[in-house]
Amino acid sequence: MRLVIIGAGFAGMYAALSSARLRDIQGVSPEDLEIALVSPEPTLVVRPRLYEPKPETLTAPLLDVLNAIDVVYVQGSAETVDTKSRTVQIVTAKGTRKTLPYDRLVVATGSRLFRPNVPGLAEHGFSVDQLDDAIALDRHLHNLAAQPPSKARDTVVVAGGGFTGIEAATEIPTRLRAILGKDAEPRVIIVDRNDAIAPDMGAGPRPVIEDALRKCGVETQLGAGVASLDKSGVTLSNGVHIECATVIWAAGIRAAPLTAQIPAERDNFGRLLVDRDLRVTSVAGVFATGDAARAACDDVGNYALMSCQHATRMGAFAGNNAAAELLGVPTKPYHQKAYVTCLDLGEAGALFTRGWERKVEIVGEQAKKTKQEINTVWIYPPRPERAAALASADPERVTDL
């Protein structure tokens, strides 16, 4: 029997760990149940940190962990999935193809920035979405130092005032001063179509965010979108033109394209609809998890967000349940009651909220310490030591905050 997991993000990593854990508990050998993880690189890209400087350092090796738990790593991208013949076609970076049959499939392909058809965005827009994007932005920021000082050089527009846009924007003043010199006066402007910053955060935490933006010197242009980009800067939907050398697009994400190949219902973000076991109900043998799936977290109407916090735990349940079906043991319905947010606010510290109503719990420097711990410890892979790695993936305990 073979269980194939596509994607080595937070969800895919925990799907691999938890399926291997259940196999171990059931005393089944890796020969009788092969678990294979397909991804372009055997590394975890620590996406929640990609707004930071030195993005090239923001990956963690996975091969040793996978070896320690007898999960087979298959290098490449899943190009096509045929759910009738239960096969995945994989293509390597060099273009060679191979077909991998599966008995159960876990789709953990994550998400990607949604780039709308805004004129000039493809040529002039940067982002902090994928590793390559963050590296390209960092390189561009360093190249600004070679340009003569000007208002445009020192101005950064961030399109999107949600979590990612705010984290990217509040970090930029420090990043630019480190590159351009401490006397530089970077101007950072968040542009958002909504009339309020952080529209998903609600009214409670908003004053903390607004205060932090003021402290970091980040301006906002609300109620207007970016209509076009060119070499000189951006033009907003209200006609205002902002001269700037840097535009960071952070205005929404969608499930990665592979989900479209699964013949099943998807939501507006392209996420596959799944049942409580994270099974794609209409397609035999397929589970979906993390940012690739729309799953209920509880019985009172809360759904998993496209977040690391949900992806990690959903991954542990999906892997466990896909393996459970093959091993003939009961599955465990996914549930995730606790929900917190920890938003980095640059030099103004951070903001920690608890619950779906986002009650402010910690702010400033204290919240920053929590953010740093989340970003440098909690979200990294377990040590490549078999017993500890398997133990870390008990679905009931993963991200139980």
Ligand X SMILES: Cc1cc2nc3c(=O)[nH]c(=O)nc-3n(C[C@H](O)[C@H](O)[C@H](O)COP(=O)(O)OP(=O)(O)OC[C@H]3O[C@@H](n4cnc5c(N)ncnc54)[C@H](O)[C@@H]3O)c2cc1C
Q: Which is nearer to ligand X, 221 or 289 (CB)?
A: 289
Of the residues 18, 19, 164, 259, which one makes contact with ligand X according to CB under 6 A: 164
CA distance 107 to 104: 10
- Choose among 334, 384, 298: nearest CA to 20: 384
Q: Which is nearer to ligand X, 40 or 285 (CB)?
A: 40
For ligand X, how many residues bind (rule: CB under 6 A)? 34
Specify whether the CB–CB gap between 19 and 289 falls below 8 A: no
Q: Which is nearer to ligand X, 236 or 344 (CB)?
A: 344
Q: 275-314 mask for ligand X (x: CB under 6 A)?
A: ---------------xx--------------xxxx-x---
Q: Which is nearer to ligand X, 47 or 294 (CB)?
A: 47
Of the residues 10, 249, 287, 339, which one makes contact with ligand X according to CB under 6 A: 10
Q: Which 50-109 positions form the footprint of ligand X (CB under 6 A)?
A: 50-51, 77-78, 108-109
Q: Which is nearer to ligand X, 163 or 327 (CB)?
A: 163
CA distance 311 to 315: 6
Q: Could you tell me which residues come within 8 angstroms of residue 43 by beta carbon, excluding any fewer than 6 positions away? A: 8, 59, 60, 61, 62
Residue nearest to ligand X (CB): 9
Paired tokens of 359: 């009650």
The CA-to-CA distance between both ends of the chain, in Å, stands at 35
Q: DSSP H helical segments within 236-334, as ranges? A: 308-327
- Choose among 75, 131, 69: nearest CA to 319: 69
User: What H or E segment, with its residue span, contains residue 24?
Assistant: helix 10-25
Q: Pick the piece of the chain touching ligand X (CB under 6 A) from 40-48, 58-66, 278-286, 357-365.
A: 40-48
Report the sign of the C-alpha dihedral through residues 160, 164, 170, 176, in that order: negative
DSSP code for 248:
E
The 3-state DSSP class for residue 311 equals helix
Q: Which is nearer to ligand X, 11 or 297 (CB)?
A: 11
Q: Does 48 bind ligand X (CB under 6 A)?
A: yes
Q: Does 9 bind ligand X (CB under 6 A)?
A: yes
- Choose among 166, 171, 164: nearest CA to 186: 171
CA distance 18 to 58: 24
Q: Does 3 bind ligand X (CB under 6 A)?
A: no
Of the residues 30, 40, 202, 364, which one makes contact with ligand X according to CB under 6 A: 40
Q: In Å, how far from its chain's centre is CA 48?
A: 6
Q: How far is CA 79 from CA 36, 52, 84, 100, 343, in A?
A: 16, 31, 16, 11, 35
Of the residues 83, 111, 155, 246, which one makes contact with ligand X according to CB under 6 A: 111
Q: Are strands 293-294 and 104-107 parallel, antiparallel or unpaired?
A: unpaired
Of the residues 4, 17, 18, 39, which one makes contact with ligand X according to CB under 6 A: 39
Q: Pick the piece of the chain touching ligand X (CB under 6 A) from 94-102, 162-170, 176-184, 241-249.
A: 162-170
Q: 239-278 mask for ligand X (x: CB under 6 A)?
A: -----------------x-x--------------------
The 3-state DSSP class for residue 125 equals strand
Paired tokens of 246: 């840097």
Q: Which is nearer to ligand X, 234 or 311 (CB)?
A: 311
Shortest spacing between CB 305 and ligand X, in angstroms: 8
Shortest spacing between CB 71 and ligand X, in angstroms: 14
Q: Does 128 bind ligand X (CB under 6 A)?
A: yes
Shortest spacing between CB 51 and ligand X, in angstroms: 5
Residues that bind ligand X (CB under 6 A): 6-12, 38-40, 47-48, 50-51, 77-78, 108-111, 128-129, 163-164, 167, 256, 258, 290-291, 306-309, 311
